[in-house]
Chains A and B, each alone.
Chain A
Amino acid sequence: MRDETQIERAIARAFRPQRRMSRRMFLRQSGKGVVVAGSALSLSGILAACGIGPGGSAGASSGAAAPLPSAPAGTLDFANWPAYIDIDEETGDYPTLAKFEADAGITVAYTEAINDNEEFFGVIQPDLAAGNPPQYDLIVMTDWMIEKMIRLGYLSQLDLSKIPNFDANALDLYKDPWYDPGNAHSLAWQSGITGIGYNPTITGREITTFDDLLDPEFAGRVGMFSEMRDTMSLALLSLGIEPENATVEQATEARDKLLAPAQAGQFRNFYGNEYYDELANGNLALTIAWSGDVSQMKLYDNSDVEFVVPESGGMLWIDNMAVPKGAPHPLDAHLMMDFWYDIENAVPLTEYVGYFSPVDGVTERVLADAETAEAEGDTEWAEALRVISATANPTDEVLAQVHNYRKLTEEEESQWNDLFNEVVAG
């Protein structure tokens, strides 16, 4: 009985669009085949790859913003992660996005094309390097990737005067962020924390530190992330090193700390989004995890699991909207960004995806909606909203425990990748 329901749920999960975590999960694999085939078939891709060009021309990211057209084109290509927007579970439509289309008179071609920062970058990079117009007007990328793309001159400058809601409604945390001074190229979409998820019924004790992941007691039942920055940064924090300022020597220490347990079989595997199911179904006792996943898991898949920010600290990640350089419909993209910074639209988004909203006051609005749901007798939804409200806007308490990623130069990045590859590949 137990097993049947487990399998059914797992299969249902595999086929059902999921939220942030799983936005990276299932399609990640199938996406790869498409990526490879796609780039092999595009002649311009072949030629671009033949002599891989340098990043965008100098001055692309400095200098003044390219002038925006005076009127919107009426069409917008928006690439996002799977199920990272509110979806009507029954019809599969996007209600808030539909509202934008009706209000602004802009048709949005919304695609869930992004399953992994690096992979998506790998797909769009040849066109951006070659100066071809990108396929998308608006993309969502994590902070460190935004920093890298700005450095390479791959992102358009934003005209914030066209996005008044941002200045009026964004929380201070998301203004003038470390990866994009003055929000010249990006505005936050949603954000969250990388920490530890665990199942107390299996661990038999409370988990508080990163070193618990290395405890031989849990050998073979520990999950790590295949994402280099998250795993290395948490390991650095456990060594008392701030990842923001870590040197290559310190990254080597982090590698050493992870390598011995990895070779001894401490980790079941290095996961992308698949860690979600492994934690939910009990294959993993504890794992590196994303905050929003664990609250969703608690609500929908396994009420036992807990999320904890390690004592040594967690990582704050911020996903951002940005306009690739040369995008054909930039003004439409600006209008779309302004739209999401209207609290009326930010609330339904966060109520669905369950991550930190960059818009001030969302917590209060989610709580108010919980009251309304309660009054209408929908206690289940009210309960879900209360859980979500706890992480609707980041609290000061949580922010005191988290760090940012390091701005890696290209050389450092390749050194860190080499170090991490030793840990991941046995």
Chain B
Amino acid sequence: MPRHWRWLVPYLFLIPGGLWLLAFFVVPMLVMASVSLQEGSLGTGYSLTWNFGIYPETIQHWAPQFARSLWYSLVVTALTLAIGYPMAYTIAFRGGRYKNMLLLLVILPFFTAYIIRTLSWKLILADNGVVLGALKDGGILDAGFRLIATPVAVISGLTYNFLPFMVLPLYVALEKVDPKLVEAATDLYASRLHAFLRVTLPLSMPGVFAGSLLTFIPSIGDFINSEILGSRDTTMIGQIIQRLFLNNNAYPEAAALGFTLMAAVLAMIFVYARAVGADELTR
């Protein structure tokens, strides 16, 4: 390749990824946007009527489920962070020669299908299953107590399923922290807590940012956990969208809700990135 064509090379490398994004992201999005603005029925077909009114209408109608999904996924993100940070910290700084094995253990559940993992919780936590049955027999719990079909079960299921998405980025960030920096801080009379707060934690923020996004985004749109572990009162927006699409064939409403969810998530990420400081993350 002649030297003056060199500038093209990076763009050539971008082509496969760009085509991928175009085919599987941009085109479906345009289709979804188009469908959401159509009106009609299966019998007569649908046509584009630029029915923007569907957006306020569907958002208002399903606001409780939107709010619930947001609330659940915020709790899930906080929980995975609270559980995942000590895990990642321990693996990164105290893992020693067991590091790789510990990491393998973190991703081990992924060797089983998502649905089977979730279904297993339903069996483990069944009203008279291994855990609750034993506690009830021991007189510790009331016979009517249950976990399945409660918000606790749904949030726990989501937390369990998305924990590795939090741990892995945190580990990558923490692993890069040079222990000598902490040492230097303590040499300069910082307490261990202070050294952590002033050195380790700020340096691990890219991991916190990536981990939060990787747990928050999938959990806000999730419909499996609530479907399997929840009840009517835990209905999340993902369940509504899938129900409208597949069971009710209400394509425009479903597309509008899907689009709204995506826009809302993007807006929240934007605010979050500004708050955390996105340029911090590229260091």
Residues in chain A near residue B235, CB distance under 8 A? 424-426
Complex alpha-carbon distance, A122 and B247, angstroms: 7
- B242 contacts which of A2, A6, A10, A32 (Cβ < 8 Å)? A32
- B231 contacts which of A11, A14, A151, A268 (Cβ < 8 Å)? A268
Q: Do residues A267 and B232 form an inter-chain contact, with CB atoms below 8 A?
A: yes
Let me know if B95 is at the binding interface, CB within 8 A: no
Would you list which residues of chain B between 210 and 237 have a CB under 8 Å from chain A?
224, 227-228, 230-235
Q: In the complex, how many angstroms separate the beta carbon of B60 from the nearest chain A beta carbon?
A: 14
- What per-residue 1/0 map shows which CB atoms of A10-31 lie under 8 Å from chain B? 1100100000000000100110
Residues in chain A near residue B249, CB distance under 8 A? 118, 121-122, 125
Interface segment among A48-56, A70-78, A85-93, A336-344: the answer is A48-56
Q: Do residues A50 and B34 form an inter-chain contact, with CB atoms below 8 A?
A: yes
Let me know if A189 is at the binding interface, CB within 8 A: no
Q: Do residues B246 and A125 form an inter-chain contact, with CB atoms below 8 A?
A: no
Interface size class of A (residues with CB under 8 A): 35 or more
- A425 contacts which of B41, B42, B224, B232 (Cβ < 8 Å)? B232
Complex alpha-carbon distance, A4 and B128, angstroms: 11
Q: Do residues B128 and A35 form an inter-chain contact, with CB atoms below 8 A?
A: no
Find the residue from B27, B31, B228, B230 having the highest chain A CB count within 10 A: B31
Would you list which residues of chain A between 320 and 359 have a CB under 8 Å from chain B?
none
- Kindly report which residue of chain A lies nearest to residue B120, judged by CB atoms: A11
Q: Do residues B24 and A11 form an inter-chain contact, with CB atoms below 8 A?
A: no
Q: In the complex, how many angstroms separate the beta carbon of A288 from the nearest chain B beta carbon?
A: 14
Would you list which residues of chain B between 173 and 222 have a CB under 8 Å from chain A?
none
Let me know if A44 is at the binding interface, CB within 8 A: no
Once A7-B129, A30-B115, A46-B27 are accepted as A-B contacts, the answer to whether A52 and B248 lie under 8 Å apart by CB is no
- A29 contacts which of B27, B126, B224 (Cβ < 8 Å)? B224
- B247 contacts which of A30, A40, A118, A151 (Cβ < 8 Å)? A118
Q: Do residues B45 and A3 form an inter-chain contact, with CB atoms below 8 A?
A: no
Q: In the complex, how many angstroms separate the beta carbon of A115 from the nearest chain B beta carbon?
A: 11
Residues in chain B near residue A265, CB distance under 8 A? 233
- Kindly report which residue of chain A lies nearest to residue B124, judged by CB atoms: A7
Q: Do residues B248 and A118 form an inter-chain contact, with CB atoms below 8 A?
A: yes
Would you list which residues of chain A between 179 and 204 have a CB under 8 Å from chain B?
none
Residues in chain A near residue B64, CB distance under 8 A? 426
Q: Do residues A46 and B31 form an inter-chain contact, with CB atoms below 8 A?
A: yes
Once A6-B128, A269-B230, A283-B148 are accepted as A-B contacts, the answer to whether A30 and B113 lie under 8 Å apart by CB is yes
Q: Do residues A35 and B246 form an inter-chain contact, with CB atoms below 8 A?
A: yes
Let me know if A119 is at the binding interface, CB within 8 A: yes
Once A29-B224, A32-B242 are accepted as A-B contacts, the answer to whether A49 and B31 lie under 8 Å apart by CB is yes
Q: Do residues B133 and A52 form an inter-chain contact, with CB atoms below 8 A?
A: no
Residues in chain A near residue B44, CB distance under 8 A? 54-55
Residues in chain B near residue A29, CB distance under 8 A? 115, 224, 227-228
Let me know if A362 is at the binding interface, CB within 8 A: no
Let me know if B55 is at the binding interface, CB within 8 A: no
Q: Do residues B129 and A40 form an inter-chain contact, with CB atoms below 8 A?
A: no
Complex alpha-carbon distance, A383 and B161, angstroms: 44
Let me know if A129 is at the binding interface, CB within 8 A: yes
Q: In the complex, how many angstroms separate the beta carbon of A175 from the nearest chain B beta carbon?
A: 28
Let me know if B40 is at the binding interface, CB within 8 A: yes
Residues in chain A near residue B127, CB distance under 8 A? 281-283
Q: In the complex, how many angstroms separate the beta carbon of B244 from the nearest chain A beta carbon?
A: 8
Let me know if A132 is at the binding interface, CB within 8 A: no
Residues in chain B near residue A52, CB distance under 8 A? 35, 38, 40, 42, 45-46, 251
Complex alpha-carbon distance, A118 and B248, angstroms: 7
Instruction: Using CB atoms and an 8 Å cutoff, list the residues of chain A in contact with chain B.
Output: 2-4, 6-7, 10-11, 14, 26, 29-30, 32, 35, 40, 46, 49-55, 116, 118-119, 121-122, 125, 129, 151-152, 220, 228, 262, 265, 267-270, 274, 281-283, 410-411, 414, 417, 421, 423-426
29 contacts between A and B (CB under 8 A): A2-B133, A3-B128, A3-B129, A7-B123, A7-B129, A10-B123, A11-B123, A29-B115, A29-B224, A30-B113, A40-B28, A46-B31, A50-B34, A50-B35, A51-B46, A52-B42, A52-B46, A52-B251, A54-B43, A55-B42, A55-B44, A220-B149, A267-B231, A281-B127, A283-B146, A410-B41, A410-B42, A424-B235, A425-B243
Q: Which 3 A-B pairs have the closest CB atoms?
A: A54-B45, A52-B46, A426-B233
A52-B251, A54-B44, A118-B248 known; 18 other A-B pairs, CB under 8 Å? A2-B133, A3-B130, A6-B126, A7-B126, A10-B123, A32-B242, A46-B28, A50-B34, A52-B38, A52-B46, A118-B246, A119-B246, A122-B247, A125-B249, A228-B247, A414-B41, A425-B235, A425-B239
